Structure 1
Amino acid sequence: MDLPTTPRVVLSELVACWGEQDWERLLVWPSNDYLVGRTGLTDRAIRKSIRRLIDLGLIIPKDSPNGKRYAVKDLAGEIIDAFGFDLTPVYARRGEWTKLLIEQKQLWQIQKQAFDEVTICRRATEEAISALAEHYPEIDRAALEEDLKALKARTPARSKASVPAGLIDDWSLLRSRAEQAFLDAGNGGTRFRHTNNNNESPSEPCNKGFPKKAEAVRSTEQTSEQLSPELILEACPTLSDYGQPVRDLADVVAAGRYLRASLGAHESAWAEAVEEIGTVRAAIAVIYVLQLYEDDAAKNGGESRIKNPGGYFRALTRMVKAGKIDLAVELLAMRRRRMS
């Protein structure tokens, strides 16, 4: 129902007051002073929230002759009735709440996927423009940078209800333009590379999307048994951005290589990580940093405090090598937070 925080807190406290009496109606009778003490709200805010809950039909007032809320007891001291609020409407509509929650979760998942796609395109675009500026500063990037600035201004925070129509297509188009500009600059404006280094059989298929199995997991690389694909999937749901099933460590490596660009991390950062901590841990570090970035952005209204995920990835790699961070421990903690 998108209740504001104050009425929601008051309703929660009213529900918590129910004493599980075996009556036909679910009656509670807390005083305003009690609710003020429990919620920290003012008396005025309590009264205003109660009025809103009544107007919405979530609670029904049961007024006493003197307007106070209290329990009615028999001669033996047993509570047999009460004057206060009837919470039966909330319970009676539990089927409706369940259906609405399912619909809201489905809508949230759709919106999350849309925002994830926008984020991937934005990072790839920024990386391409940055690489263009670094390696080919003589190339005019003004149009790309202006379009990037305009698209950022049009892109709402993740806390907003939905991604505007056509925004994903516009981000995909800008990403393609930026990457094509970098490719053209590297090829000297021609359609082909200056030197053809492909010595493989021409009958071998070209992999345009995901790496086959990425780099092989080296037999000399010792990996903690706790660093299982199952743990990584449970701790880092952002791995769904990879778009391919993750069944073993080779798939984890492929996902890490593919998602590395989403961090804005240079290829040299990946090469350094592989050299320093091994292929598997390098891939897990990519996935872990990406999940940290996504979680922080979701918690802070779409703005993550991690301003440079690529640099964070490099720093994490060095801390893992130095033994200051254990990826298995970090993933277990992340999974615990997600399940709590």
Structure 2
Amino acid sequence: MQLASSGGRRLRHAALAARELALDAGRTVTRKELSAAARDAAKALELRNGPRSVLSELVACWGEQEWERLLVWPSNDYLMSRTGLSERAVRYAFRVLIDQQLIVPKESPNGKRFAVKDLAGEIVDAFGFDLTPVYARRGEWAERLIEQKQVREARKRAFDEITIARRAAQEALSALAEHYPDLDRSDLEDRLRTLKAHTPLRVSKAMPLDALDEWKDLRTLCEKAFFDAGNGGKECRHTNNNNGSPSESCNKGFPKKAEAVRPTEQTSEHLSPELILEACPTLSDFGQPVRDLADIVSAGRYLRASLGAHESAWAEAVEDIGTVRTAIAVIYTLQLYEDDLAKHGGESRIKNPGGYYRALVRMIKSGKLDLGVELLAMRRRRMM
């Protein structure tokens, strides 16, 4: 269609569709209600600043008349002064709002916007813009906002999982470089760099599901490489490059009893072997019967390497808190680590068990932590 000489605008399908929307019979709309619907519409449709500002000013012009349609008639000059936009930007904003079925133009014979008054001077009609669709579609805005929130939360979870997988893969590669420097890891490092380059940023609106799957696969490969390197391709703990392995080889049995328990180190019933066995099922990894405190010490010394703690950590702890409590601290820390793995689906919050063990020893030494109380609480949780 050609523009009318009177200054009319091109006919748009969206305007005809929006014109079909109407208020409920007898429904009156306040400016506050209309403003809330307009804000939701702007968020749901992700309007840019120009159209958003023009829509806000149109709503502010609503006089709360008891009409069937929500008509406003501000001039372009008024809108330009209120929004700071150019006339061209205001006209563009009108086009966007009409295409989004938010407003409907109501044209006058001469293309101007003005109010129609009766003989008493009361405004009875107007030519300008009809804001009825903004309010009539308020249910649609609410649904769209809920959907957008769900999408944002799903994106956030996906990016969070990518971050977790990326850090785990980097940590595994760093551990490989530190403990097994001769192992070829170039393929894994190349894949890591490629994934970093192609993973979308958080600020983007893309849903990174494909990238998430790739990061999870890379994490699995990196951790498996580190695990296989530590086991030396066998089904038992590998002894080379380990922080003080508890035995000479996987098949030569268990170590003899550790240093004898001095009489001054005999503990109360709160640290009895029975309590430790009930609270810490991880003692089954020792593979030998535990009958007395000497067996507890042997088990602690044997399981110490499972934490990745160096032999020096054991020696320092013995100096600080004694042999028995040192061994119990090892068993307690290992049980905490395994419980955390089981609770969080194979991913523990204790990233460095050896460091956690050293910190635990310092707390025991300073009196901030009582092993007897902690073991009783652990047993109580296990029996619930």
TM-score range, shorter chain: 0.5 to 0.7
Match in the other structure for 2:137: 93
Equivalent residue for 1:201, pick from 281, 284, 288: 284
Give SS of 1:147's match: helix
**Aligned-pair RMSD on alpha carbons?**
3.9
- 1:57 corresponds in structure 2 to 101
Seen in structure 2, the aligned counterparts of structure 1 residues 47 and 199 have a Cα distance that, compared at 3 Å, is closer
Amino acid at match of 2:51: P
Q: Secondary structure at the match of 2:283?
A: coil
TM-score, normalised to structure 2, is: 0.50
User: Given that residues 59 and 131 in structure 2 are in contact (C-alpha distance below 8 angstroms), is that contact kept between their aligned partners in structure 1?
Assistant: yes
Out of 190, 210, 214, which is 2:340 matched to?
210
CA offsets 1:133-181 (integer angstroms, 9 cap, x no match): 3444333321111111122233222344443554333211110121222
- Separation in 2 of the partners of 1:42 and 1:272? 68
In 2 relative to 1, CA 87–42 (structure 1 residues): closer, same or farther, beyond 3 Å?
Answer: same
Taking the aligned partners of 2:339 and 2:47, their CA distance within structure 1 comes to 44
Q: C-alpha displacement at 1:130, in angstroms?
A: 2.8
1:322-337 maps to which residues of 2 (within 5 A)?
none
Structure 1 39/131 Cα, relative in aligned 2: closer, same or farther at 3 Å? Answer: farther
- State how 1:158-197 maps to structure 2 within 5 Å: 158-164=202-208, 166-188=210-232, 190-193=234-237, 194=239, 195=245
* Alignment partners' CA distance in 2, 1:101 and 1:111: 15
Partners of 2:141 and 2:173 lie apart in 1 by: 47
Partner SS, residue 101 of structure 1: helix
State the match for 2:148 in structure 1.
104
Question: For residues 281-336 of structure 1, what are the alpha-carbon distances to aligned partners after superposition, in whole Å with 9 as ceiling and x for unaligned?
Answer: xxxxxxxxxxxxxxxxxxxxxxxxxxxxxxxxxxxxxxxxxxxxxxxxxxxxxxxx
Q: Using the alignment, how far apart are the partners of 2:84 and 2:129 within structure 1?
A: 20
Q: Distance in 2 between matches of 1:58 and 1:101?
A: 16
CA contact (8 A) 1:25 1:88 kept: yes
Q: Distance in 1 between matches of 2:83 and 2:72?
A: 16
Shift of 1:121: 0.8
The Cα of 1:27 is off from its aligned counterpart by 1.2
Q: CA shift at 1:47, angstroms?
A: 0.3
Aligned to 1:26: 70
**8 Å CA contact retained: 2:102, 2:131:** yes
List gaps (5 residues or longer) in structure 2: 1-44, 240-244, 248-280, 288-333, 364-384
Identity of aligned residues (%): 56
For this pair of structures, how many residues does the alignment match? 232
Post-superposition CA distance 1:55-88 (Å, at most 9, x none): 3322111223343323334455543332211011
Give the conservation status (yes or no) of the 8 Å contact 2:54–2:90.
Answer: yes
1:225 aligns with: none
- Paired with 1:48 and 1:180, the residues of 2 have a C-alpha distance of 58
Summarize deviations over 1:223-263 as a string: whole Å, max 9, x none: xxxxxxxxxxxxxxxxxxx78xxxxxxxxxxx9x72x76xx
In structure 2, the CA distance between the partners of 1:160 and 1:130, relative to structure 1 (3 Å rule), is same
Structure 1 stretch displaced more, 73-82 or 143-152: 73-82
Amino acid at match of 1:39: T
Pick closer, same or farther for the CA change 1:212–1:187 going to 2, 3 Å.
closer
Runs of 4+ that moved beyond 6 A: 203-207, 266-277
After superposition, the Cα gap between the structure-2 partners of 1:73 and 1:118, relative to the gap in structure 1 and judged at 3 Å, is same
Once the two structures are TM-superposed, the CA of residue 25 in structure 1 deviates from its matched residue by 0.8
Quickly say closer, same or farther: Cα 1:134–1:11, change in 2 above 3 A: farther
Q: Which residue of 1 aligns with 2:196?
A: 152
Taking structure 1 as the reference length, the TM-score comes to: 0.55
CA contact under 8 A between 2:155 and 2:208: conserved in structure 1?
A: no
Q: Secondary structure at the match of 1:30?
A: coil
Distance verdict in 2 for CA 1:199–1:73, change over 3 Å: closer
